[in-house]
């Protein structure tokens, strides 16, 4: 008797697989995408289940889904979804051939939602950068660069513009490499790496990464501190901190402490910090190149609701700084409401903080500025806004003088 293969597979916790052509799988994913089920999440889930797919097929499906959302307003809605996927890949190829197509005006009209153009955030160079395949950036653990170069080779790994940064263009699944498992590198966008360099914590200091998430920046700060001192890592999402715990173990990062914090007025500790990073939740417009589906699900209401959260997070985190301590605000978005407006309002409402000019990590010769936007077209990474303040000396407590 033939064994019941489906039942056996289900007992093993795997999905029974009938081979689905990649174009059909891409179309199925696209059809299920919505604001609650973003394309990147559905792709991760689907590709993790479809273990029979080769790495090349998996990469093709990701490319196809993302190409669809980059080019969807050029596609013919009379075609089937599968046909549109093929057309989108054709348009992506035409664009990368650099024939000067489409014009700037057409790009701004079709590649981003109209509300962005209306808010005057859009510039053609930014929108053009959103239509390209994104760069995969790595951050090497300090002193691991040579080992990584040896392992991946100069074809796949090219040094990037920041210390320990690399641009990866190989085809291996990096997550399964022994170098990744041994914590020799992190996959981290170059603009996120730049935030670590803006913070530039010193060994022995105590920092708070207030919206640490899964710890991309916590691990960077802790590494810059050479394992000396402490980074408090907080987030409202316990599951994200659990992931941070696993990542930190892999990265041999021991100088950090995880704690839940809901962003409320009560800080997670009475510690006074040398530095606080508020890498706040945001509308993520800076990631629209990497994650084009998000262009079509983000709304102006999101922007304004998130701005209110950002304002509160900064206000609640700020009092925990020591005199002379630095407060760093970063968001991977570009809307004025979440970037310059938040920074200007904080400066106006907090005279105890002074805007603190810092060097642009991508251009150390440029004049320091207290707030900067890193644009994708300039850095090859996500769009990111960073602002820094220094806490002025706290007034000494008034002690009553004895009367003569």
Q: How far is CA 324 from the centre of its chain?
A: 28
Query: Minimum distance from CB of 194 to ligand SAM (Å)?
Result: 12
Using CB under 6 A as the binding rule, whether residue 189 contacts ligand SAM is answered as: no
Tokens coding 276: 């606080």
Task: Determine the Cα–Cα distance for residues 205 and 223; give it in Å rounded to an integer.
Answer: 12
Q: Which is nearer to ligand SAM, 71 or 164 (CB)?
A: 164
- Interface characters, 264-303, with ligand SAM (x: CB under 6 A): ---------------x-x----------------------
Number of H helices, E strands in the chain: 16, 12
Q: Give ∠ CA 140-144-149 in degrees, rounded to 5.
A: 85
Task: Determine the Cα–Cα distance for residues 130 and 103; give it in Å rounded to an integer.
Answer: 14
Query: Minimum distance from CB of 307 to ligand SAM (Å)?
Result: 13
CB 374 within 8 A of CB 194: yes
Q: Which of 179, 186, 205, 235 binds ligand SAM (CB under 6 A)?
A: 235
Query: Minimum distance from CB of 336 to ligand SAM (Å)?
Result: 18
Q: Which of 72, 165, 192, 320 binds ligand SAM (CB under 6 A)?
A: 192
Q: Which is nearer to ligand SAM, 91 or 371 (CB)?
A: 371
- Cα distances (Å, whole numbers) of residue 383 to 38, 168, 175, 358, 380: 20, 19, 25, 18, 9
Q: Which of 263, 275, 376, 383 binds ligand SAM (CB under 6 A)?
A: 263
Using CB under 6 A as the binding rule, whether residue 240 contacts ligand SAM is answered as: yes
Q: Which of 102, 216, 229, 376 binds ligand SAM (CB under 6 A)?
A: 216
Task: Determine the Cα–Cα distance for residues 256 and 251; give it in Å rounded to an integer.
Answer: 12
Query: Minimum distance from CB of 185 to ligand SAM (Å)?
Result: 15
Stretch that binds ligand SAM, among 43-51, 138-146, 205-213, 345-353 (CB under 6 A): 205-213
Q: Which is nearer to ligand SAM, 174 or 309 (CB)?
A: 309
- Cα distances (Å, whole numbers) of residue 32 to 40, 58, 152, 193, 328: 12, 18, 36, 33, 38
Q: Which is nearer to ligand SAM, 157 or 277 (CB)?
A: 277
Q: Which of 134, 213, 361, 380 binds ligand SAM (CB under 6 A)?
A: 213
Stretch that binds ligand SAM, among 86-94, 103-111, 164-172, 256-264 (CB under 6 A): 256-264
CA trace torsion 59, 61, 64, 65 (10° rounding): -120
- Cα distances (Å, whole numbers) of residue 267 to 110, 262, 310, 314: 44, 9, 15, 12
Number of Cβ within 10 Å of residue 32's Cβ equals 11
Task: Determine the Cα–Cα distance for residues 116 and 303; give it in Å rounded to an integer.
Answer: 11
Using CB under 6 A as the binding rule, whether residue 237 contacts ligand SAM is answered as: yes
Using CB under 6 A as the binding rule, whether residue 223 contacts ligand SAM is answered as: no
Which residues from 360-389 bind ligand SAM, rule CB under 6 A? none
- Which residues are at the interface with ligand SAM (CB under 6 A)? 192, 211-217, 235-237, 240, 261-263, 279, 281, 309
């Amino acid at each position: 008797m033939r064994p019941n293969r489906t039942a056996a597979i289900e007992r093993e916790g795997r999905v029974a697989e009938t081979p689905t052509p990649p174009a059909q799988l891409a179309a199925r994913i696209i059809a299920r995408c919505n604001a609650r089920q973003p394309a990147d999440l559905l792709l991760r889930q689907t590709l993790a289940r479809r273990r029979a797919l080769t790495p090349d097929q998996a990469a093709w499906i990701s490319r196809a889904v993302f190409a669809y959302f980059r080019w969807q307003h050029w596609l013919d809605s009379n075609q089937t979804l599968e046909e549109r996927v093929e057309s989108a890949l054709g348009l992506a190829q035409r664009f990368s051939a650099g024939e000067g197509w489409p014009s700037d005006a057409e790009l701004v009209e079709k590649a981003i939602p109209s509300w962005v153009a209306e808010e005057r955030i859009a510039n053609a160079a930014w929108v053009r950068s959103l239509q390209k395949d994104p760069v995969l950036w790595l951050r090497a653990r300090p002193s691991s660069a040579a080992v990584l170069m040896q392992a991946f080779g100069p074809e796949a790994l090219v040094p990037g513009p920041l210390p320990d940064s690399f641009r990866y263009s190989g085809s291996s699944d990096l997550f399964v490499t022994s170098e990744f498992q041994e914590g020799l590198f992190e996959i981290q966008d170059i603009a996120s790496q730049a935030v670590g360099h803006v913070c530039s914590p010193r060994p022995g200091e105590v920092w708070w990464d207030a919206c640490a998430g899964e710890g991309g920046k916590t691990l960077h700060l802790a590494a810059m501190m050479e394992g000396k001192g402490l980074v408090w890592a907080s987030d409202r999402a316990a599951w994200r901190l659990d992931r941070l715990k696993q990542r930190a173990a892999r990265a041999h990062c021991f100088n950090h402490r995880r704690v839940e914090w809901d962003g409320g007025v009560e800080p997670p500790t009475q510690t006074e910090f040398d530095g606080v990073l508020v890498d706040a939740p945001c509308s993520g417009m800076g990631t629209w190149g990497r994650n084009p589906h998000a262009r079509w699900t983000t709304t102006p209401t999101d922007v304004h609701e998130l701005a209110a959260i950002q304002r509160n997070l900064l206000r609640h985190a700020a009092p925990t700084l020591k005199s002379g301590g630095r407060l760093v605000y970063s968001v991977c978005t570009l809307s004025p409401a979440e970037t310059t407006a938040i920074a200007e309002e904080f400066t106006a409402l907090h005279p105890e903080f002074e805007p603190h000019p810092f060097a642009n990590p991508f251009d150390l010769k440029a004049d320091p500025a207290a707030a900067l936007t890193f644009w994708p077209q300039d850095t090859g990474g996500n769009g990111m806004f960073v602002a820094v303040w220094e806490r002025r000396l706290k007034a000494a407590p008034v002690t009553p003088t004895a009367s003569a």
